[in-house]
Amino acid sequence: MELLAIIGALITLAGSIFLLLGAIGLLRMPDSYNRIQAGTKASTLGTILSFAGILLIMPGWWGKLLVLIISVIITNPVSSHVLARAAHYMGVPLTKTTLVDKYREEEEYIAVKDQNNEST
């Protein structure tokens, strides 16, 4: 029992280190999209790991911790996707080393189509 608790505590510690790496990535990355990549994703795994560690320490709390893990897994990708689309729509610039931007052509195509629909 004691061994399981110590393993759980170490998993929580690993999760907190992932959270710290996510925050460092948030500071170091050059543009918004890369910040979303480094920030929200690494911290998702960190949070899941720390909930799993608490789950190993206190097995009696499994119901609420499971609901928390599921809600983090469902809500997090949605919010980062919505933020990325809003940033691209606002015209937040990509960093200088970016290789391709296939999405901009598509966006211009949609804009032209909308204008045609409004004028007719």
Partner 1 sequence: MQIKNILVATLIGFIFWVLLNNTLDPLILAIGAGLALILALLFCARCNVFSELKVTPAAFGYTFLYLGVFLVELVKSNLDVASRVITPSLPINPGIVEVKTHLKSRMGRMILANSITLTPGTLTIDIHEDTLYIHWIDVQTEDKQGATEKIVRKFEKYLEKIYG
Partner 2 sequence: MVETILTIAAGIMLLSLILSIIRFIKGPCYTDRVISFDVMTIASLAIIATVAYLTQRIIYLDIAMVYGILSFLGVLVVARYLERGL
Q: Which residues bind partner 1 (CB under 8 A)?
A: 18, 21, 24-25, 28-31, 33-34, 36-38, 41-42, 44-45, 63-64, 66-67, 73-74, 76-78, 80-81, 84-85, 88, 94-95, 97-104, 106
DSSP 8-state assignment for residue 59: G
Q: How far apart are CA 42 and CA 18, in angstroms?
A: 6
Q: How many CB atoms lie within 10 A of CB 32?
A: 19
CA-angle at 14, arms to 11 and 17, nearest 5°: 155
Residue 90's binding partner out of partner 1, partner 2, none, with CB under 5 to 8 Å set by partner kind = partner 2
Could you tell me the smallest distance in angstroms from the CB atom of residue 115 to partner 2?
15
Instruction: Name which position in 58, 110, 111, 112 contacts partner 2 (CB under 8 A).
Output: 58
Q: How far apart are CA 12 and CA 46, in angstroms?
A: 8
What own/partner pairs with CB < 8 Å and gap ≥ 24 does 72-78 have? Answer: 72/44, 72/47, 72/48, 73/44, 73/48, 76/40, 76/44
Residues at the site binding partner 2, with contacts judged by CB under 8 A:
5-6, 8-10, 12-13, 15-17, 19-20, 22-24, 26-27, 32, 35-36, 39-40, 43-44, 46-47, 50-51, 54, 57-58, 61, 64-65, 67-68, 71-72, 75-76, 78-80, 82-83, 85-87, 89-90, 92
